[in-house]
Amino acid sequence: MKLVLRVLFLVFLCSLAYGIYHKAQINFTTGERIIGFTVLGGAFIYLPLFLYHHWKGKRLQDYTMSEENLKKMREKQEAISKFKK
């Protein structure tokens, strides 16, 4: 999956660079279309794959503000403040 994400990123980056070049040097309208399709591809293809890859195996509860997490944060803060004294 990591290789797929890297290859897709390079493809979208090259496509964006080509679209900018095409817009400036050859044809403005076609360059704008290339840039637009690249942004759409990045948003609807690359971004979901990237998020799926990085959130795989993680629990959402670890990243939400619940009473349990607040209690852990308070205990950690108290331990840090005791250590500094």
Give the tens place of pLDDT for each residue, 9-24: 999 999 999 999 999 9
Give the tens place of pLDDT for each residue, 31-73: 999 999 999 999 999 999 999 998 888 877 777 888 888 888 8
Q: How confident is the model at residue 85, as a pLDDT?
A: 61
pLDDT top residue among 85 and 70: 70
Q: How confident is the model at residue 81, as a pLDDT?
A: 80
DSSP 61: G
> How crowded is residue 39: how many other Cβ atoms within 10 Å of its Cβ?
14
The sign one gets for the Cα dihedral 67, 68, 69, 70 is: positive
- One-letter amino acid identity for 16? L
Q: How confident is the model at residue 57, as a pLDDT?
A: 82
Q: How far is CA 41 from the centre of its chain?
A: 14
